[in-house]
Amino acid sequence: MNLAVVGTGYVGLVTGTCFAETGNNVICVDVDLNKLEKLKKGIVPIYEPGLEAIFERNIKDGRLQFTSDIKEAVRKSEVIFLCLPTPQNGDGSADLKYVLGVAEELGRFFQDEPGIGFKIIVDKSTVPVGTSDKVRALIKKHAPRFDFDVASNPEFLREGMAVEDFMKPERVIVGTSNEKTRKILDKLYEPFVRSGNPIYFMDERSAEMTKYAANSFLAAKISFMNEIANLCELTGAEVDKVRAGIGSDSRIGKRFLFPGVGYGGSCFPKDVVALVNTANEKKYDFKILRSVVEVNKRQIEIFLNKILNHYNGNIKGKHFGLWGLAFKPNTDDVREAPALALIEKLINNGASVTAYDPEAEHNARVVLGEKIKYAGTSYNAVENSDALIIVTEWNEFRNPDLEKIKSLMKEPVIFDGRNLYDLDTMRENNFTYYSVGRTAVIKK
Ligand SMILES: NC(=O)c1ccc[n+]([C@@H]2O[C@H](COP(=O)([O-])OP(=O)(O)OC[C@H]3O[C@@H](n4cnc5c(N)ncnc54)[C@H](O)[C@@H]3O)[C@@H](O)[C@H]2O)c1
Q: What is the CATH number of the domain that holds 417?
A: 3.40.50.720
Q: Among 149, 173, 202, which residue terminates a domain?
A: 202
| Cα(231)–Cα(226) distance, integer angstroms | 9
232 catalytically annotated: no
Identify the burial level of 438 via C-beta atoms within 10 angstroms of its C-beta, where 0-12 means exposed, 13-18 middle and 19 or more buried.
buried
**pLDDT, tens digit (0-9, with 9 covering 90-100), for 201-222:** 999 999 999 999 999 999 999 9
**pLDDT, tens digit (0-9, with 9 covering 90-100), for 366-412:** 999 999 999 999 999 999 999 999 999 999 999 999 999 999 999 99
- Tens place of pLDDT for every residue, the chain, 444 residues? 999 999 999 999 999 999 999 999 999 999 999 999 999 999 999 999 999 999 999 999 999 999 999 999 999 999 999 999 999 999 999 999 999 999 999 999 999 999 999 999 999 999 999 999 999 999 999 999 999 999 999 999 999 999 999 999 999 999 999 999 999 999 999 999 999 999 999 999 999 999 999 999 999 999 999 999 999 999 999 999 999 999 999 999 999 999 999 999 999 999 999 999 999 999 999 999 999 999 999 999 999 999 999 999 999 999 999 999 999 999 999 999 999 999 999 999 999 999 999 999 999 999 999 999 999 999 999 999 999 999 999 999 999 999 999 999 999 999 999 999 999 999 999 999 999 999 999 988
Are 10 and 148 members of one domain? Answer: yes
How much is the pLDDT for 231? 98
Looking at the structure of the chain, the number of domains it has is 2
Are 251 and 194 members of one domain? Answer: no
User: Domain limits at 116?
Assistant: 2-202
Are 183 and 297 members of one domain? Answer: no
Burial 97-133 (b: 16+ CB within 10 A, else e): ebbbebbebbbbbbeeeeebeebbbbbbbbbbbebbe
Selecting among 18, 83, 232, 267, the annotated active-site residue is: 267
Are 195 and 74 members of one domain? Answer: yes
> Is the shortest distance between the CB of 12 and ligand 1 below 6 Å?
yes
**Distance (Å) from CA 323 to ligand 1 centroid:** 27
Are 98 and 148 members of one domain? Answer: yes
Are 187 and 336 members of one domain? Answer: no
Give 286-294 contacts, CB < 8 A, sequence gap 24+. 288/220, 289/216, 289/220, 291/223, 292/216, 292/219, 292/220, 292/223
* The pTM of the whole model exceeds 0.85: yes
The residue length of the chain stands at 444
Are 252 and 315 members of one domain? Answer: yes
- The answer to whether the beta carbons of residues 143 and 112 sit under 8 Å apart is no
Are 9 and 139 members of one domain? Answer: yes
H-only helix segments in 239-384: 239-247, 268-281, 287-310, 338-348, 361-368, 378-382
DSSP assignment letter at 395: G
In a domain, 166, yes or no: yes
In a domain, 252, yes or no: yes
Ligand 1 pocket mutation, candidates 5, 8, 10, criterion most atoms within 8 A of CB: 10
Query: What are the start-end ranges of the E strands in 385-442?
Result: 387-390, 413-416, 432-434
Are 261 and 361 members of one domain? Answer: yes
The helix or strand, by DSSP H or E, that contains position 174, with its residue range, turns out to be strand 172-175
- The answer to whether the beta carbons of residues 86 and 95 sit under 8 Å apart is yes
Are 315 and 406 members of one domain? Answer: yes
**Distance (Å) from CA 80 to ligand 1 centroid:** 14
CA atoms within 13 A on the CB side of 119: 32
> Is the shortest distance between the CB of 415 and ligand 1 below 6 Å?
no
| Cα(183)–Cα(199) distance, integer angstroms | 12
In a domain, 311, yes or no: yes
**Distance (Å) from CA 126 to ligand 1 centroid:** 9
What dihedral angle (degrees, nearest 10) is formed by the CA atoms of 363, 366, 368, 371?
Answer: 120
297 Cβ contact list (under 8 Å, min separation 6):
262
Find the angle CA(384)-CA(389)-CA(392) to the nearest 5 degrees.
Answer: 130
Ligand 1 pocket mutation, candidates 155, 165, 166, 272, criterion most atoms within 8 A of CB: 155
Are 136 and 265 members of one domain? Answer: no
| Cα(210)–Cα(154) distance, integer angstroms | 8
| Cα(252)–Cα(236) distance, integer angstroms | 23
| Cα(174)–Cα(152) distance, integer angstroms | 6
How much is the pLDDT for 444? 80
**Distance (Å) from CA 212 to ligand 1 centroid:** 16
> Is the shortest distance between the CB of 31 and ligand 1 below 6 Å?
yes
> Is the shortest distance between the CB of 125 and ligand 1 below 6 Å?
yes
How much is the pLDDT for 98? 98
Q: Among 152, 172, 202, which residue terminates a domain?
A: 202
Identity at 204, one-letter amino acid code: E
Protein residue whose Cα sits closest to atom 18 of ligand 1: 9
Closest by CA to 132, choosing from 171, 94, 175, is 175
> Is the shortest distance between the CB of 104 and ligand 1 below 6 Å?
no
Are 109 and 24 members of one domain? Answer: yes
| Cα(271)–Cα(293) distance, integer angstroms | 11
Protein residue whose Cα sits closest to atom 7 of ligand 1: 155
Other CB atoms within 10 Å distance of the CB of residue 44: 15
Identity at 68, one-letter amino acid code: S
- The answer to whether the beta carbons of residues 66 and 58 sit under 8 Å apart is no
| Cα(155)–Cα(169) distance, integer angstroms | 10
Protein residue whose Cα sits closest to atom 22 of ligand 1: 9
How much is the pLDDT for 62? 97
> Is the shortest distance between the CB of 8 and ligand 1 below 6 Å?
yes
In a domain, 263, yes or no: yes
